[in-house]
Each structure stands twice: as structure tokens, then as C-alpha cells.
Amino acid sequence: MKGIMIQGTASDVGKSFIVTALCRIFANEGVKVTPFKSQNMSNHSTMTPDGKEICIAQSVQAEAAKIKATEWMNPILLKPRPNQQAEVVFLGETIDTFSGIHYRDCFYEKAIKVIEASLAKLAKDYEMVVIEGAGSSVEINLKDREIVNMKVAEMADVPVVLVTDIDRGGAFASIVGTLELLEPKERERVVGVIINKFHGDVSLFQDGMKWLEEKTGIPVLGVLPFVENHLIDVEDSLSSSALSAQRVSDVRGRGHRLDEVAAQIKSLLNWELLKDTIDHWGNKK
């Protein structure tokens, strides 16, 4: 199965939004595409048509892909509870509530197995997977048991696009710093950069794009504007910008809005280069 993974330089840079848009773009081109996120930390959950609990983000992404949401698209959901506890949901079913340390120490191997099984299931059912990472691509203190970013890209054997949020400032340092912290084999997977939440005239950013490409050797695939009220920014973090259940309910059925946003994003990306890169990577397997 061919695919692409969207990772970020930090939380809330717009990974969920971009994955949602990509799912709609591919679906509109006739590709049988599915979203995937190995693990979410969120209280924003919903039920699939088959009664399995997953994060709202993947439910909306499935809608964008024009397919039915399933537990395989979000096999692990951690729902925060008081006293540093979390309710652990595996493949849509609650297991129990554990501390973060207990979960990390005791569930790593089980998590790896359920992620592998989910990717295998999706590979049988779909032509393309668009994978969403979590937080930053590199969290040094968590790297030995990381199951949401480069580990998943390796398991799925897909290239990675790195997204940064220029609205908050520090985009250049975030990109260069993230790439510097990646191991050589991990960095080889990064095939492009997307600058998200840009305000103003993109032509004024041309020098910045040129500098980034010369500094990193990685193409800037697009500069995306700050889009207000697009209704599909479903970043799974605990930030206040995460989509509420009510807003997701409002979004469902509004395929025209998904089409509008997808068309806008496609026009701002180097779409042919991105598709060619995905095809080239997939053909190497």
C-alpha cells in the first residue's frame, strides 16, 4: 500500500487539517484512501457505525475519504482522567484506566502489535493511507518507546512530510531543529515541508522558501494560509482549538465544505511533486 505520513514540528500545527484535506483530494481523484493515526490522546471521541470508539479526528477524516470509519483507523485512544491517569481504548474497546508510566512500561509491545495489525488490515482494504503523527516528530525523552511518529512511518514504510506553524513564530528554527534531531535514516524519509497558517502575501515568503530548501535540501511543498472557520481542523491535542463533539456533528454531511477546502489546499501545494514522490517511494518496495 502506498502512503504518506504528516508529521509536525509541534502539537497543533495543523496535521489533522492537512490529513483531512489530503484524504478528500485523493478520494476526489478516485483513489481508495484511508486515514490512520496509531494513537490519540484526547477526550474528543465518537462511535463508528459498528459501535467502536475512536477519536473524532479520524471519524471526520474517514468522511473526507468518503469511507466508513473503523477502529483500524485509530487503534489506540488514550482518554485523560484525573491524577495523571488515562482510560485506554484498544481497537474501539476500553481496557482499563492506568497511569502514564504503567501504560508506557507495560503496553508498548501490545501497542506495537495492534498498530501492525491495523496497518495490515488497512493495506488489504485500501490503495493509499494518509497517516497522521502526534506532537513533534522528535521527543527525545520518549523516543525509546515512541509509537506515533517515525516508528509508525518505518512500520508502514512511507515517506514523511513535515508541517510547521508559522503563525506562532519560530518556523525556521522548528524545521531545521527537528531535522537536526532526527537520526539519519529517519531524516531520509522526510521528502517535503509544508508551511501552515501563513498570513499575508505568500510572494513575500519566497526568500524564506529558498533559504529552507538550500539549508535542508528538502523541497517546500506548499505555503498554506491561516484558514478561519474551516470546520475540519481536528487536531487531537488537549488544546482549546481542538474540535468539540458538537462542531464535528455540525461538520458531518457538509461534503461541499470539505471539497472547497480540499480544492484550495490542492491548488497551493506542489501536488504533482507530492504524488510523484509517493509513487516513487511505493515503487521502491
Q: What is the pLDDT of residues 37-94, one digit of tens each?
A: 999 998 889 999 999 999 999 999 999 999 999 999 999 999 999 888 899 999 999 9
State whether the Cα torsion 228-67-126-60 is positive or negative: positive
Residue 60 lies in a domain: yes
Residue 270 lies in a domain: no
Residues 98-124 have a mean pLDDT of 91
- The model's confidence at residue 235, banded by pLDDT at 50, 70 and 90, is very low
Residue 278 has φ and ψ, to the nearest 5°, of: -60, -45
Residue 279 lies in a domain: no
pTM above 0.85, yes or no: yes
The Cα 41–Cα 217 span in angstroms is 33
Q: Are 190 and 162 within 8 A, CB to CB?
A: yes
**43 is in which domain, residue-wise?**
2-264
Q: What is the CATH number of the domain that holds 241?
A: 3.40.50.300
Residue 95 lies in a domain: yes
Domains identified in the chain, total number:
1
116-171 residue pLDDT tens: 999 999 999 999 999 999 999 999 988 888 999 999 999 999 999 999 999 888 99
70: amino acid identity, one letter = T
Q: Are 99 and 105 within 8 A, CB to CB?
A: no
Residue 259 lies in a domain: yes
Residue 51 lies in a domain: yes
Residue 284 lies in a domain: no
The Cα 37–Cα 134 span in angstroms is 8
The Cα 32–Cα 27 span in angstroms is 6
Residue 272 lies in a domain: no
DSSP states of 67-133 as a string?
S---GGGS-EEEEEETTTEEEEEETTEEEEEEEHHHHHHHSHHHHHHHHHHHHHHHHHH-SEEEEE-
Residues 206-231 have a mean pLDDT of 88
